[in-house]
Amino acid sequence: MTGAALTLGFYFPADGKEIEILKSESAENLGIELNAWITIDPSGKVILTNHRAEMGQGSFQSVPQIIAEELEVNLDQVSIVFASGNREKYGSQVTGGSSTVRSTYKMLLRVSASAREMLIETAANKWSVSKSECYAENGFVIHKPSGKKFNYGELVADASKLSPPKNVELKNPKDYKIIRKPLPRQDTPLKVNGSATFGIDKKLPGMMYAVVERNPRFEGKVKSFDDSEAKKIPGVKYVFKTNRKVFEHLYEGVAVVADNLWAAMQGRKVLKVDWDDSGFDHHSTEQLYEKMKDQLQKGNLISYKTQGNFADAFQKSEKKLEATYETPYESHSCMEPLNCIADVKEDSCEIWGPIQGPDWIQGDIAGTLKLDPKKVKVNMTFLGGGFGRKAFTDYPHEAVMISKEIKAPVQVVWTREDDMTLGPFRPGMIYQCKGGVGKGGRIAAFETRMAGQNMDVQNPGADRSTYNSDVVEGFLEPYFKSIPHFTFGDTPLESPIPVMWWRSVYSSTNGFAFESFIDEMAIAAGKDPLDFRRQHLNNQRYQDLISKLEEVSGWKKRNKNEGFGVAITECFSSIVGEVVKVSKNTEGKVKLDKVWAVMDCGWYVNPDIIAAQVEGSIVMALGAATKHATHFADGKAVEKNFDAYKMPRIADIPEIEVHVMDNEEKAGGVGEPGLPPFTPALTNAIFDLTGKRIRVLPFNLDEV
């Protein structure tokens, strides 16, 4: 940008006071790194530096809509560039926890409004009129009495000399012209015409290609390898041992580097590696779940959240229930497999790829190479799916190690089989639930004990005596007030299998147990499942969501030959309720007819993006509930590709109807909260239709 451009950003003062809006030049003079940049150049074009990834969730559209609203420009005047990794400059850049909008929308609104006011003030000064006589619209400042106007580009040079206003008045949501509108996404044409650059599309001059033969048992070591046949493949240049860091474990493999990807893949096929797989367990799926069950029988190792006296209240309950629920290990299986380009030089490193957490990658690589973080540049591309997997640091670490070895830029590409079998995976879980129903059909006591791998204690030396605070993730907040006696605990399982975040994280498994058991308690209490939830959720926001869900689904008008199930969960500051309707087809098999979803994410940007994310979440949940799971045998993942790890097909998808609540609540997440309620709503609907409770996932709809 030239000096004539107006560039604004925000930062958080060290004294904890409210955020400050500053010009780029002022920030530089003060030695301050601004968190987000909005630049208006002399042509009037608005350039937004997007510090978060775009992996399909819609930030490439949502963030410009926020900017355009308060800045008073059309979306075709806004272009986006991806920021490189820099925590000092942009704050957290991790695109996870459905946090992009909810963590920055207030600041983005303020920065945009500040820029608008500076432009209006500049125009008023040029006309020697009162600022109150001027307004901004469609990239112009207009003088109301005379109709005279300036293009923003004509004002930026002088506006850049002003100080940003301390306080700006933001619009009332009822006055929005761009926010809350279902405007088409700007990245859609790029993805349709093929011009969008995903990580796997990126090319550099002189770049080499690598694939890696990695130990399928995760923690095994390379004992020896024979590369004689691999080196006979035309184009293969190097074969050597390498590693990737998964948490603090160094996982070993053998890299095959060639001047084209096909040669590297062919070289890998004829490579012979002798592995040392001693010193760690070779778990099968059956062994993993037996260990979880044994741990549950022994009781909680750790209690995280308790209130009252569960044991006493349970014994005194009029009706007592116990149930166990199982959820499987899952692969992320993004449509774009993992890949990363690294170019390591003596005193610097540059990365390109589909990366969810560029600031994490920058910090990790700087530590590995012992470089100043400013010497590590991490460039984001579009991501062909992420779901948490591409926020991890292992695959860039591996690319860096290979580039450092060959002293050239290299793109490391994972095959579909690599992507599905090497993890990290969503951890499988078992939940043991107990509950008591008391007077008036109310919940008197509630207990959940969870067994499974804890994502936070996988590093060597990690404190395994600490509790898993996410054991309550997905549970509705008002329940903690309406249930007098409860306890939540976990019994962490240890295994060499690496596990990590998967869309909606623990809510994806917790939600199935919580909302299935709440439904079982409703039936035991002789209550309508939706009324039972209403009875325990004494909060207007939840009551409004239930009323909306009841209205749109026709819950009170259910027919005898239809099964209806409901579930409500919350995560990442959003509440989602879903109703699933099932029936039987002509062959007597269960048929999935329709899903109604009500999303309460508070303040929101684009209803079409919300609908798309809820629909995608439901499809992903349907797959995990009824189609696929990752199994293990002799310490290795069994499912290697989509022939075994089956995905839902278009014919499997029911009609999905999404509704968005309008209220004055703070913004919540959108990309993940639509996933957890689907599966319990589905299994509750199946119970309503057939009387059969499903407590183990995945299950086959045709076999219910």
**Where in the chain are the domains?**
6-193, 199-279+338-413, 299-330+425-703
User: 6-193 and 199-279+338-413 share one CATH topology?
Assistant: yes
Class of domain 299-330+425-703: alpha beta
Determine the distance from the C-alpha atom of residue 438 to the mean position of all C-alpha atoms in its chain, rounded to a whole number.
Answer: 39
CATH 3.30.365.10 corresponds to the domain 199-279+338-413: yes
Torsion sign across C-alpha atoms 640, 646, 650, 654: negative
Q: Which helix (H) or strand (E) holds 200?
A: none
> 670: closest CA among 616, 619, 615, 614?
614
> 71: closest CA among 52, 43, 93, 46?
46
pLDDT computed for residue 14 by the predictor: 56
Tokens standing for residue 446: 């509630």
Is there a contact between 451 and 295 (Cβ–Cβ < 8 Å)?
yes
Q: Which helix (H) or strand (E) holds 181?
A: none
Question: The whole model's pTM is what?
Answer: 0.94
pLDDT computed for residue 48 by the predictor: 81
> 196: closest CA among 60, 388, 378?
60
Instruction: List, in order, residues 6 or more apart from 179 with CB less than 8 Å away.
Output: 65, 66, 69, 173, 605, 606
Q: How far apart are CA 215 and CA 204, in angstroms?
A: 29
pLDDT in tens, 14-59: 555 666 777 777 766 666 566 667 888 888 888 887 778 888 898 8
Phi-psi bin for 149: left (phi > 0), alpha (psi -120 to 50), beta?
beta
Whether residue 698 has a cis bond before it, omega within 30° of 0? yes
pLDDT computed for residue 356 by the predictor: 92
Is there a contact between 453 and 514 (Cβ–Cβ < 8 Å)?
no
Tell me which CATH code domain 6-193 carries.
3.30.365.10
> 647: closest CA among 343, 457, 385?
385
Please identify every stretch of the chain with a pLDDT value under 50, giving residue numbers as ranges: 1-2
| Phi, psi (rounded to 5 degrees) for 263 | -65, -40
Q: How far apart are CA 165 and CA 118, in angstroms?
A: 8
Beta-carbon count within 10 A of 623 CB: 19
Instruction: List, in order, residues 6 or more apart from 116 with CB less than 8 Å away.
Output: 70, 71, 72, 136
Strands 590-600 vs 655-660: parallel, antiparallel or unpaired? parallel
Compute the residue count for the chain.
Answer: 704
* E strands in 312-403: 319-327, 339-344, 349-353, 376-380
